[in-house]
Amino acid sequence: MTYGNWLSRAHDELTRAQARLPSDPAVTLDDVGATVVARQRVYARLAKLVELVVGGQPARADIDRGTIDVALRMQAGDHTTRLYLGLTAAARSDRQAAPATAPICRVGRHLESAAEAIAVAGEILAGHAPPAREPLTPEGVAIRAGAGRKAGLADIAVLTTDMLAIDAGLPEWLSGGHRLAYGAFETVADEARWTSNGYLTEVVHQLISDAGDAPSLLHLLEPPPPVPVGRRAISDGASALRSLVATRDWMHRNPGEVRVMHLAKATQAALAVSALASPGAVGADWRSWSAAAHAAGQLHGTPPHGPAAAQTARELDLVTRWVRPGLSRPGHVTSRGSRLEAIDKLAAVLPSLSEVLRVATQTAARNRHFFVLGRRELERVPRSLVYHAVARWCVAQPDDEQVYRLRSALAAVGASALASTPSHLPRAAPRLAKLAFAAPVDAEPSQQAKGAIGRAAREVLSRPSRHDHSRR
Amino acid sequence: MDYITALQQAITRVEERGIVDETEAQAGLRLACLAFDSPDVPSQQWALLGFELLTALTELYPEPAPIAVTVTTARSSITSTTTQRTLIRLVSVLGDGYDQASQQPEVSAQRRFAYAATAERLNAAVRGLV
C-alpha cells in the first residue's frame, strides 16, 4: 500500500469515528481514557507527519497552549508553523496519562486505527527521508527539496479537519457516556473546545487552498524495497520494478561501493527498458542509454566488494533478463499490453537511476576503481631484435575519455527527462530531486482525484469554515 | 580504415572462419558495438539491436580477448543507409555463425546452448529492423 492509501484509510477511520460520536458512548472510565489517548495519538502523529513532510520541526514542540493560542489568533508565522503548533498543542494533555488499554467503544477503535494508519504513512516517508539524517532514496532527496510539500501538507490539513469535527462533538460525547466521565475528563473537553474553536480550522482551510491543483506526489510513495536475496529469476513486472528501485536506492546510499559491474549491468538494463518502452515514455531516452551502456561496457575495474554489492549486481542482471525480449522466460505468459505497461513503469525509474549512476561513476573514478588500457609501448626480450607493442592497464583518471563519455551520456538522460517534464521544484533543488519524480507527475492528478483524501480536500474547500462564517 | 570498410572485412572474416574462432567473433561483435556508443541511434529497434550485441558480448565473452578494435574515421555513425545495411549484414552473418556453431558436436553443450540463444536474439533484433 502507498502513502496515499494509508492516508485515505486514516481519513475513512476518522469519518467513521465522527459518525459514531452521537450513538456510541463509552461505557467504562477506562474506555473513555483509552479513547482520549487515541485522540491525542492521532494529533501527535499528524504533527510528526508535518515534520517528515517539511524535513524538520517548523517550531519548538513544547510551547505552552496560551502562547500557541496567541500565535494562532495573531496569525504569527506561516500556515505550516501554525498547523504544527496547533497539532502539538492538541497532542498534549494537562490530564495525567490514562492506563495503556485498547479502546473498546467504536469511536475509540476508529481513532486508534486512524492513528496506526497515520503512523504507517509516517514510516513510509521516514523510509525515504528519515528525520535528521540524509535521505535514503532519490524520492527522499526530492521530498527534502520540497517535492509534493504543498499537497502533502494539504493531506495533513484534511485529516486535521476530520479531527476538528470529532473534537467539536467530543464534549457532548464525554457527557453522554459514563456518569463520571465528564468530571474526570473536563480538561479534555476544554482542549477539544479549544482546538475546534475556529483558528486551527482557518489554518487548515488556507493550507488546502494553497495546495490548489499541485500534484500529490507523495501519494505514490511505497516503502523503499530491500534488495532481495538469493532468488533465481524475476517472474513479473511488479517484482522487476521493486528490484530496480531497490538496486537504485542501494547505489544511491552506497555510491562508494558501486563498481564497473554495477554500472555495466544497470546501463544495460536501462538500455533494454528504454528500447522496449512506449515511444515517448519519460526516461526512455534510448539514444543516451545506448551511449551510456556501450561506454560502460568498455570500462574495466575492480570487482564488487561484499555480499550486498554482489547481490545488487545479480539483481540488475535479473531485471535485464526479465525485460529482455525474445526467448521464453518466467512471466512470458503475461499479455503484451500488461508487459509494455510494466516496462513503462520501469522507464519511470530511469531518470533518477541515471543521476545515481552518474554520481557513482564520479565517486568510483575518484576512488580509482576504473582501469583503462594505457599507451602501447615497444618492449623486447633482452638480446632479441624483435620489439613487441605491449599495452598495460592503468588506473583511469576521472577525466579519461571513457569515463567522461559514460558520465556525459548519463547526464544526457537526465537532461532529456527534465526537458520533457520540467520539474516543479525550485531551480536550486538538487538534480536528483528533480529527476526522482520526473515521470509520474502527469499521471498523478487523476490518481489524486480518485483518492478519498483528495475528495475530502475538495469538500473542505467547498464548505466555509466556522471562523470565516462568524467573521461575515 | 573507415567504419564501412572495417565492417565489410569483418563480414568476410566471419564468413570464412565462422565464429568458432572466438577472437574473430569477439572482434566482429565489438566492431558492431562501436556503432552504438554515440547517441546517433536512429530508432528504438536499433537501440534494441545495440543492447543485444552488447549483451551477447558480455555473456559469451566475460573475459575479453586482448584485442583492440579501432577504426580511424567516421567510426560510429549509423545514420547513413549504407552503414546500416552493412551493419545488419554483419549481425546476420554473426547470427548465422552462432547458429551453425550451436550445431557442432565438438563444441561443449553449455556453449552450444549459449550460441543458439545468441543466434536467436541477434536474428530477432535484425528482423525488427528489416
Which of A286, A375, A408 to mutate to test binding with chain B, by most B CBs within 10 Å of its CB? A286
Tally Cβ neighbours within 10 Å of residue B25: 27
Grid coordinates representing A410?
548519463
Provide the pLDDT for residue A198: 75
Tally Cβ neighbours within 10 Å of residue B58: 17
Which of B51, B76, B113 to mutate to test binding with chain A, by most A CBs within 10 Å of its CB? B51
CB atoms B50 and A293 under 8 Å: yes
Provide the pLDDT for residue A400: 86
The CA distance from B13 to the nearest CA of chain A, in Å, is 23
Question: Cα–chain-centroid distance for residue A60?
Answer: 25
CB atoms B39 and A294 under 8 Å: no
pLDDT digits (tens, 9 = 90+) for A398-448: 888 889 999 999 999 888 888 877 777 777 777 888 888 776 544 444 444
Which residue of chain B has the CA closest to A281? B44
How far is the C-alpha of A192 from the C-alpha of A177, rounded, in Å?
A: 16
Highest mean pLDDT among A368-377, B64-73, B117-126: B117-126
A332 — phi, psi (to 5°)? Answer: -70, -20
Instruction: State chain A's mean pLDDT as an integer.
Output: 83
Q: Average pLDDT for residues A24-41, to the nearest whole number?
A: 84
Which residue in the set A276, A326, A412 is minimally distant from B39, CB to CB?
A412
A262 and A309 Cβ atoms separated by less than 8 Å: yes
Q: Which is nearest to A291 in space by CA: B92, B85, B51?
A: B51
Which residue in the set B44, B57, B68 is minimally distant from A275, CB to CB?
B44
Q: Does B69 touch chain A (CB under 8 A)?
A: no
Provide the pLDDT for residue A443: 43
More confidently predicted of A39 and B75: A39
CB atoms A276 and B44 under 8 Å: yes
Confidence of residue A58 (pLDDT cuts 50, 70, 90): confident
Which residue in the set A276, A294, A405 is minimally distant from B50, CB to CB?
A294
Which residue in the set B44, B58, B120 is minimally distant from A326, CB to CB?
B120
pLDDT digits (tens, 9 = 90+) for A132-147: 888 888 888 888 888 8
A326 and B124 Cβ atoms separated by less than 8 Å: yes
pLDDT digits (tens, 9 = 90+) for A215-264: 678 888 889 888 877 777 888 889 999 999 999 999 999 999 999 999 99
A372 — phi, psi (to 5°)? Answer: -135, 160
Which residue of chain A has the CA closest to B124? A326
Q: A319: number of CA atoms within 13 Å, CB side?
A: 36
Instruction: Calculate what percentage of chain A has a pLDDT beyond 90.
Output: 36
Grid coordinates representing A406?
559514460
- CA distances from residue B64 to A198, A297, B31, B114 in whole angstroms, order as listed: 73, 11, 14, 16
Provide the pLDDT for residue A470: 43
Q: Average pLDDT for residues A364-373, to the nearest whole number?
A: 87
A375 burial (CB, 10 Å; 0-12 / 13-18 / 19+) is exposed
Q: Does B54 touch chain A (CB under 8 A)?
A: yes
Q: Average pLDDT for residues A105-113, to the nearest whole number?
A: 91
CB atoms A405 and B68 under 8 Å: no
pLDDT at A96 over 70: no
Instruction: State chain B's mean pLDDT as an integer.
Output: 86
- Residue A388's H or E segment, with its range, is strand A387-395
**DSSP string for residues in B99-129:** HHHTT-TTS-HHHHHHHHHHHHHHHHHHHTT
CB atoms A290 and B55 under 8 Å: no
- DSSP state, A23? T
| Amino acid in position B128 | G
Which residue of chain B has the CA closest to A321? B55
Which of B37, B46, B77 to mutate to test binding with chain A, by most A CBs within 10 Å of its CB? B37
pLDDT digits (tens, 9 = 90+) for B73-127: 555 578 788 889 999 999 999 999 999 998 888 888 888 888 988 998 899 889 8
> Which of A325-329, A366-370, A383-387 shows the lowest mean pLDDT across its residues?
A325-329
Helices (H), A212-255: 237-253
Provide the pLDDT for residue A468: 47
CB atoms A293 and B57 under 8 Å: no
Provide the pLDDT for residue A358: 95
Residues listed for chain A: 472
Q: Ramachandran region of residue A392, left (φ > 0), alpha (ψ -120 to 50) or beta? A: beta
Grid coordinates representing A428?
536550486
pLDDT digits (tens, 9 = 90+) for A254-292: 999 999 999 999 999 999 999 999 887 877 888 999 999
How far is the C-alpha of A429 from the C-alpha of A442, rounded, in Å?
A: 20
More confidently predicted of A455 and B16: B16
- CA distances from residue B120 to B45, B48, B51 in whole angstroms, order as listed: 16, 14, 14
Provide the pLDDT for residue A302: 86
Q: Does B115 touch chain A (CB under 8 A)?
A: no
Provide the pLDDT for residue A227: 81
> Chain A residues within 8 A (CB-CB) of chain B?
264, 268, 271-272, 274-276, 279, 286-291, 293-295, 297-298, 320, 324-327, 373, 391, 405, 409, 412
More confidently predicted of A94 and A389: A389
Grid coordinates representing A319?
531485471
Residue appearing with cell numbers 463509552: A26
Q: Considering only CB atoms, which chain A residues are within 8 Å of B50?
A: 271, 275, 290, 293-294
pLDDT at A119 over 50: yes
pLDDT at A332 over 70: no
A300-301/A370-380 β-pairing:
antiparallel
A288 and A413 Cβ atoms separated by less than 8 Å: yes
How far is the C-alpha of B41 from the C-alpha of A30, rounded, in Å?
A: 72
B3 and B77 Cβ atoms separated by less than 8 Å: yes
Q: Average pLDDT for residues A90-111, to the nearest whole number?
A: 77
pLDDT at A65 over 80: no
